[in-house]
Amino acid sequence: MKRNELGNSADAVGKEDTRKRRLITGEGAVSVITVLILVALWTALTDSYIDDLYFPSPMDTIQVVGRMEGVLVSYFLATMYRVVVGMLIGAVLGVFCGVAMSWNKWINSVLDPLIEGLRPIPAVALIPFFILWFGIGDTGKLILTAIGGFTVMVVTTLEAIKHVSPIYIMAARTLGASRLEIYRTIILPAITPTLIGGVRVTVALSFALVIASEFMGAQSGLGYMIMLARRTLQTDAILVGVIIIGITSWIVDRCVRIVGNYLTRWAPRSE
Amino acid sequence: MSAYISIADISKSFAGTAGRIDALQNVNLDVPAGEFLCLVGPSGCGKSTLVFIIAGLVKASSGEVRVAGKPVVEPDPDRTMVFQGDAVFPWMTVAQNIGYGLRFGAMSKKEQGKTVSQLVDLVGLTGFADAFPKELSGGMKKRVDLARAYATNPTVLLMDEPFGALDAITKEKMQVDLMRLSVTDTGQRRTIVFVTHDLEEAIFLADRVAVMTPRPGTIEVVLDVPFPRPREASIRLSTEFQALRGQIRELLVSEEEES
C-alpha cells in the first residue's frame, strides 16, 4: 500500500513534466493572443488618433532602440548595478538584524525604536538628503536602496520567526539541539518561504527607489535617460526606458521565484 | 522496585486569560526502570503538561522530577519525546529527520548514516530515506517521528498522545511496532511514559495505567495491567481486558460526575 502511494505520486509528477515539456499550453496560447491584440491596438491607435508626441508607435520605439544601442546598454548596467547591489546589502543586513533581534532582547531593545522610526518614512522622501550628503554618484543610491530593502526584510524576518511552530523547536530541544543549532537548522529553514516573499517585495521596491533617485540626480541609468528624454520631449525614448525597466524587473522577480522554489522544494504547495 | 523516574509533589499553574489555572496539584508518581506507564484522564487534566515537565520543556511551579537520580532542569537526548502534532521537520528528508538527534552526539558521520538506515528499515520506511515529509501519509510521518526519538537510544521515551490523529488500523500497527521497538541497543527495556485518552490503547500497551483526576490534575489511582508480553492484538477481546477497561471507565465517569 505504501509503495502504491509513492507510485501514484510519481505518476502525477510524470504527467506534470510532460505538460511542461509541451511548447505552448492552452493557457499560454491565450496569453500570447492577449499580447498580440494589445500590440495591434497600439499600432492602430498610434497610426490614427494619437499624436506621436504623446505616445510613440511600435515602429518608432523599435527604431529608438537601434539608435541608442550603446548608451542604452551602459545605462541599463548602471541601473542594474544599483538595484542588485543595494538590494543585496539591504536584504542581507535586514535578515541578519531580524535574527539578531529575536535572538537577544537587548539587541531588540536597541534596534526596535530605530527601525520603527525609519519604517513609516517613505525612502524616496530621503533622496534630497542623500544627494546633499553623497552627491549624484552610486553611493547615495546604494544606501537608499539598501535602506528600503532593509526595512522590508527586517520586519518580514521578525514576523516569520514569531510564527515558527513551537512544536519544531520543542522537538529539536528534546533531541539535544543547542540554541544556535535551533536557529541554524530549524528557524532559518522554517522562515525561508516567508523570506522569499519579502525578497520579491524588495525587488519591486529597489527598482522604484533606484529609478526615483536617478530622476532626481544622476549621470547614468535608465531613470536618468527617461528624465533627459522628457526634457527634449522624446516620448519614444521614455517608452523604451519604461519597457526595459518592466522587463528587467519581471526577469529578476522570476529568478527570485526560481531560486525560491528550489530552496523551498520541501514545502507542500497548493496549486 | 527502584524508581527510574521519580515525580515528587509536582504542581503547575499557568496565568490564563481568565485568571490563574491550576493544571497540576501535588502529583507524586514513581516509574521503575523499563516500565511502560500510561497516563489517562479527562481532557484538560494536565497529563500532557506532566509529560512536558518530565521532558524538561516546561518548568514546574513547585516540586521536582528526577530521572536516574538527577533532577530534570532541561531537555536531554536521553529523554526524547513524540508529540501529539506533526513534529517532523518538513524541510528535512526522512533520513535527515531521523538522524537529527545524532548530529549533536559523539557518533561519526559514517556511524550516523548506518544507524539511520537501520532505523529507516526498522520502522518500515525502506525506500523513503530521501523523501520529503510532504510525500508521506500521516502514519508514515509518525513512524519518522518515532524513529527520530529512538535514534539517540534514549532510556526514557515520552509520548504525548502520539497516535491520536491516526485511523484505527494504522494506530494498531503503530502500537505493535512500538512494543517491538521499545528496547535499547543493549537489550534493556526503555522506560516509557505514554499519554492517551484511548483506554484500550492504554491497557494494550502499559504495564501500569495511572488514572488522573480532572483539573487540577493529580494521580487518582495506579492500576496494574497483568497481561504477559508479547501481547497479541486479540487480547483486546478477552474478558479480563474488557473488565479492566470497564473499571478504568467507571473511574473516569465518576470523576466527571463529581466535578
HSE (side-chain half, CA atoms, 13 Å) at B32: 6
Rounded Cα distance between B7 and A234, Å, is 84
Q: Residue B185 — pLDDT band, cuts 50, 70, 90?
A: low
Residue A123, classified by CB atoms within 10 Å of its CB into exposed (0-12), middle (13-18) or buried (19+), is buried
The residue of A5, A169, A174, A265 whose CB has the most chain B CBs within 10 angstroms, and thus the best one to mutate to test that interface, is: A174
Q: Are residues A107 and A224 in the same domain?
A: yes
Residue B127 within a domain: no
Continuous segment of H or E residues that includes residue B81:
strand B79-82
Q: Are residues A47 and A86 in the same domain?
A: no
How many other β-carbons are positioned within 10 Å of the β-carbon of residue A254?
11
> How are beta strands B70-71 and B62-67 bridged, if at all?
antiparallel
Mean pLDDT score, B5-17: 90
* CB-CB under 8 Å, A2 with B134: no
Mean pLDDT of chain B: 90
Q: Are residues A46 and A120 in the same domain?
A: no
Rounded Cα distance between A139 and A153, Å, is 21
In this predicted model, what pLDDT tens digit does every residue of A52-64 receive, in sequence order?
778 888 888 888 8
How many other β-carbons are positioned within 10 Å of the β-carbon of residue A99?
19
The residue of A175, A263, A265 whose CB has the most chain B CBs within 10 angstroms, and thus the best one to mutate to test that interface, is: A175
Spell out the alpha helix ranges (H) of A48-104.
Answer: 58-103
B33 pLDDT above the threshold of 50? yes
Structural domain tally of chain A?
Answer: 2
Contacts of B130 in chain A (CB under 8 A): none
Residue B7 within a domain: yes
Which residue segment(s) compose the domain that A36 sits in? 22-51
Is omega for the bond preceding B226 within 30 degrees of 0, making it cis?
no
Instruction: Identify the pLDDT of residue A20.
Output: 53
Instruction: Identify the pLDDT of residue B259.
Output: 64
Give the CATH number, domain containing residue A150: 1.10.3720.10
Contacts of B89 in chain A (CB under 8 A): 168, 171, 186, 189
* CB-CB under 8 Å, A174 with B55: yes
Q: Are residues A123 and A162 in the same domain?
A: yes
Residue B18 within a domain: yes
Structural domain tally of chain B?
Answer: 1
In this predicted model, what pLDDT tens digit does every residue of A70-117 receive, in sequence order?
889 999 999 999 999 999 999 999 999 999 999 999 999 999 999 999
Q: Are residues A176 and A139 in the same domain?
A: yes
Continuous segment of H or E residues that includes residue B244:
helix B239-258
3-state secondary structure of B25: strand
Which residue segment(s) compose the domain that B212 sits in? 1-33+43-74+193-259
Residue B15 within a domain: yes
Cβ of residue B138 closer than 8 Å to a chain A Cβ: no
A9 pLDDT above the threshold of 50? no
Q: Are residues A117 and A143 in the same domain?
A: yes
Residue A11 within a domain: no
* CB-CB under 8 Å, A268 with B91: no
Q: Are residues A43 and A174 in the same domain?
A: no
Instruction: Identify the pLDDT of residue B234.
Output: 86
In this predicted model, what pLDDT tens digit does every residue of B225-243 receive, in sequence order?
998 888 888 888 999 999 9
- Where residue B147 falls (left for φ over 0; alpha for ψ -120 to 50; beta otherwise) is alpha
A145, amino acid identity: T
Q: What is the pTM of this model?
A: 0.86
Percent of chain B with pLDDT over 90: 66
Q: Are residues A45 and A155 in the same domain?
A: no
Cβ of residue A219 closer than 8 Å to a chain B Cβ: no
Point out the residue among B57, B86, B132 whose CB comes nearest to the CB of A173. B57
Contacts of A190 in chain B (CB under 8 A): 91
Mean pLDDT of chain A: 88
Residue B117 within a domain: no
A8 pLDDT above the threshold of 60? no
B244 pLDDT above the threshold of 90? yes
Cβ of residue B140 closer than 8 Å to a chain A Cβ: yes
Mean pLDDT score, B60-74: 93
Residue A1 within a domain: no
Percent of chain A with pLDDT over 70: 91
Q: Closest Cα partner for B164 from B206, B208, B144, B194?
A: B194
Give the CATH number, domain containing residue B212: 3.40.50.300
Q: Are residues A248 and A160 in the same domain?
A: yes
Residue A2 within a domain: no
* CB-CB under 8 Å, A168 with B89: yes
Rounded Cα distance between A83 and A75, Å, is 12
Instruction: Identify the pLDDT of residue A13.
Output: 43
Residue B231 within a domain: yes
Q: Are residues A168 and A45 in the same domain?
A: no
Rounded Cα distance between A129 and A143, Å, is 12
In this predicted model, what pLDDT tens digit does every residue of B125-183 receive, in sequence order?
999 999 999 999 988 999 999 999 999 989 999 999 999 888 888 888 888 888 877 77
Percent of chain A with pLDDT over 90: 66
Instruction: Identify the pLDDT of residue A7.
Output: 41
How far off is chain A from B125, nearest CA to CA, in Å? 9
Q: Are residues A166 and A70 in the same domain?
A: yes
* CB-CB under 8 Å, A268 with B83: no
Residue B142, classified by CB atoms within 10 Å of its CB into exposed (0-12), middle (13-18) or buried (19+), is buried
A5 pLDDT above the threshold of 60? no
Rounded Cα distance between B30 and B65, Å, is 10
* Nearest Cα residue in chain B from A166: B87
Continuous segment of H or E residues that includes residue A145:
helix A138-162
Q: Residue A14 — pLDDT band, cuts 50, 70, 90?
A: very low
Instruction: Identify the pLDDT of residue A252.
Output: 94
Rounded Cα distance between B173 and B177, Å, is 6
Q: Which residues pair with B156 in a beta bridge?
A: B79, B191
Residue A16 within a domain: no
Q: Are residues A43 and A144 in the same domain?
A: no
